């Protein structure tokens, strides 16, 4: 397709395209609306990312609450209590791993025994368990902090969208004024 610009009575055209016969102002308005639509799409994607982060933070907080509820029932640091803590960590291992928690320091080894999944865990002190739950808590807080940063970006996208839509509206008004002036001539 060849495109050549020509001018007739002060109105610009692009010959050989769907824009042929359209004023420069209308073409600019179309471009602004397209860019605005892109910004709107970026904002929608950002909202999706923020929702996912918020959901992850909620899941992490629920995990911490359940773990702390069970771990809090164990007050002594005897060998049997260490083993009980290991069992509790083992119980939440898969859920934590799916949420992206680094479980390498949980002391749990997963393997197959006679074709069936088995777990072997090491006992944990109360202090070690507090460190693990503290790590999960920090992850949840980071999700919330990241969402605050993403909110600023979302506001920027929405501001750009509003600016482009407003600019397109102004261009359409200008094009209409030009056409009205030509019609009166």
pLDDT in tens, 31-86: 888 888 888 888 899 899 999 999 999 999 999 999 999 998 887 777 789 999 99
CA 119 – CA 41 distance, rounded (Å):
46
Confidence (pLDDT) at 95? 97
CA 146 – CA 51 distance, rounded (Å):
11
Confirm if 94 and 101 have CB atoms less than 8 A apart.
no
164 pLDDT exceeds 90? no
| Confidence band for 156, pLDDT divided at 50, 70 and 90 | confident
Give 107-166 as a DSSP string: -EEEEEETTEEEEEE----HHHHHHHHHHHHHHHHHHHHHHHHHHHHHHHHHHHHHHHHH
Geometric angle at alpha carbon 84, from 106 and 98, rounded to 5°: 35
From 65, 104, 106, 64, select the one nearest 85 (Cα to Cα).
106
From 143, 165, 2, select the one nearest 63 (Cα to Cα).
143
pLDDT in tens, 81-119: 999 999 999 999 999 999 999 999 998 888 888 888 888
Q: Is 6 exposed, middle or buried (0-12, 13-18, 19+ CB in 10 A)?
A: exposed
Range of the domain at 97: 4-184
**In CATH, what number is assigned to the domain containing residue 157?**
1.20.1330
Q: What is the count of structural domains for the chain?
A: 1
Top pLDDT among 180 and 101 is at 101
């Amino acid at each position: 397709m060849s495109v050549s610009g020509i001018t007739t009575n002060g109105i610009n055209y692009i010959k050989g395209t769907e824009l042929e016969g359209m004023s420069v102002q209308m073409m600019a308005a179309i471009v602004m609306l397209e860019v605005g639509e892109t910004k709107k799409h970026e904002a929608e994607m950002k909202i999706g990312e923020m929702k996912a982060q918020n959901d992850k933070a909620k899941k992490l907080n629920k995990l911490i609450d359940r773990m702390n509820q069970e771990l809090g029932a164990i007050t002594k640091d005897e060998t049997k209590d260490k083993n009980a803590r290991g069992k509790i960590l083992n119980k939440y291992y898969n859920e934590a791993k799916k949420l992206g928690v680094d479980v390498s320091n949980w002391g749990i080894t997963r393997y197959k025994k006679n074709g069936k999944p088995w777990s072997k865990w090491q006992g944990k002190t109360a202090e070690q368990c507090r460190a693990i739950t503290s790590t999960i808590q920090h992850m949840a807080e980071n999700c919330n902090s990241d969402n605050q940063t993403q909110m600023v970006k979302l506001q920027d996208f929405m501001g750009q969208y509003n600016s482009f839509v407003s600019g397109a509206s102004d261009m359409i008004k200008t094009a209409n004024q030009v056409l009205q002036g030509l019609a009166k001539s």
